[in-house]
Structure 1
Amino acid sequence: MRESLRKFLLFVLLHACSIWVLQAQEYKNEFGIQSDNDAYLWYGQDRYYTNGFFISYRHAPDQSKFRTRKLEKVVYSFSIGQQMYTPFSGFVPERELQDRPFAGYLFGRGQVNFLYKNEQVLKVGLSLGTVGPNSFAREAQNLLHNTIGLYSTSGWDDQIGNSPAFNLHSAYAALIYRRSNDSFDLSLESHLDLGTTFTGMGAGLLFRIGDINQFFHSAYHQARVGHNGNIKAATEREFYFYAKPQLHYVAYDATIQGSFFVDNSPVTFAVRPLVFEQKIGVNYSSRRFSLDYSLTFRSKELQSPARQHQFGTISSSYRF
């Protein structure tokens, strides 16, 4: 009887310790910064989607309140961002030479990420903001250029006019294949956007190679946060390279076509409905920090003399 009691108490102690160790490795909150810029290609390009800046906060509530046989984790995400677009240069005062409209987009977004045990991911979100002078893109680009000693801009008087921005976002991902030693995987990626700024959809494939985690623990899906998690991460530190070829169908883009409501933009163009995008990058994530660098290459986006475009993205996050 005593021996059985000792074994039972030992089992309870070991189980409690394992839970404590698992929970001690979790951080419920994450603060992130992302910067997009074509200067990150390091050869002096400054055109089209020329700059983007985003600040985000993510929180993982107590997973035991959401956990089902299928669902592993829920993550709430809140972000603010600004994007700016120019023709082939930020200095094009002649309206007839502008091969893409000057445009700015300022928004706030709330999103919920559902991460499933079978490594499917569903993300749904809502963005509210503005396109046009109220986005302060002109002021932001002038401030940036003055700060780092670049040329003066000209042409923003012809930018896309003010328009309210309301957008619904959804994305879905599903694991197709993973090597048994967790060094390579292949997954489906898709998205759908509906709203007054961007409307369209896309689908592609994601390839990752290196030290990778399950989707519900991976930095790629902003899932390094957790609270009372059930399944242990495959690796404490992620370090992997990734590639994502994707085809987009573009139904509407207010930064190219102007306001969804009124014709208040002096320079607009029609969009090209099919746009191919290739993204390649590298990610490193420890328990507290993540750092990501990627390059995005896009085919022509509008029906004008504008060419295909490329830009880089640098993002980092801190968990607490």
Structure 2
Amino acid sequence: MTNLILVILCLTIGILLQRVKEMPDNAPKTLNTYLIYIVLPALALLHIPETALSFELLLPVLTAWISFGLSWLIFGTLGRKFSWSKTTTGCLIIVPGLANTSFIGFPIIEALYGSEGLKIALLVDQAGSFIIVSSIAIIVASIYGHGKQRKRDVTKKILTFPPFLFFLIAIAMNIDQVTLTGIPHEILKAFAATLTPIALIAVGLQVKINAQTLSLKALWYGLGYKLILMPVLIFISYRWIFNPDDILYKVSVMETAMAPMITGSIIAINHDLNPKLASLLVGIGIPLSFGTLLGWYYLVG
């Protein structure tokens, strides 16, 4: 409950800070740079080396890949049909294509399904959402961003993207069974703990909710996909694979139903992929998801 209150509070603080004249215009981008270069690498080093890998957890992890793949297919097609700008199409592929499987997903899953559910959620996030946002999302951002980029430049951008670089380091640590303890571990925890407040305040600084923004069709296409369509697809298709009472099934559906991923919005904003829409998808999607998640919880039991 504390984490959920923190989410709402930080979004509200960000929105209220818009009224502070001393707040610089580039504050959100500055905060996002800190998250990308410091916090996300810290999260990788903190969690991935300690994550136990298991073949039976492959299907829950695949939900993140399925969601992003379908997002690219659907919004890429709709973008051509409705003649959306490339930046709007790219934003809709990345932000609704990624679920907020970590700092919103973790506390919700732990509250509903305990430590066993949290272990599954951790792998969905690290082996699914985190890899995608650190690599494929960068490719999409490069394709749909302003100007054409050479394949060599895109590859360089991925390989030098700090979260992806530290993800590879963390995977090597996992394979070699190397974990950080003592002071290094505590330092990483301290940086990782700043993700939620900083990211949500940055989003709140850019959210401007009014009749005009709420009438944006692209916003509701994105939220409809993220909060309804994708959970429906996993809810139906995974029932053919899992027993409906299996915790793997329940966590798969619930993690898919989470609000759009804040890190995805950071990538979109930093690549100038319709920053206004990226902020709205998260800023409206998070509080809206609390209601839709309740419905999904009653459906999966």
TM over 0.5: no
Report the structure, 1 or 2, having the larger helix content: 2
With normalisation by structure 2, the TM-score equals: 0.26
With normalisation by structure 1, the TM-score equals: 0.24
Q: Which structure is larger by alpha-carbon Rg, 1 or 2?
A: 1
Report the structure, 1 or 2, having the larger strand content: 1
Higher RCO (C-alpha 8 Å, min separation 6): 2
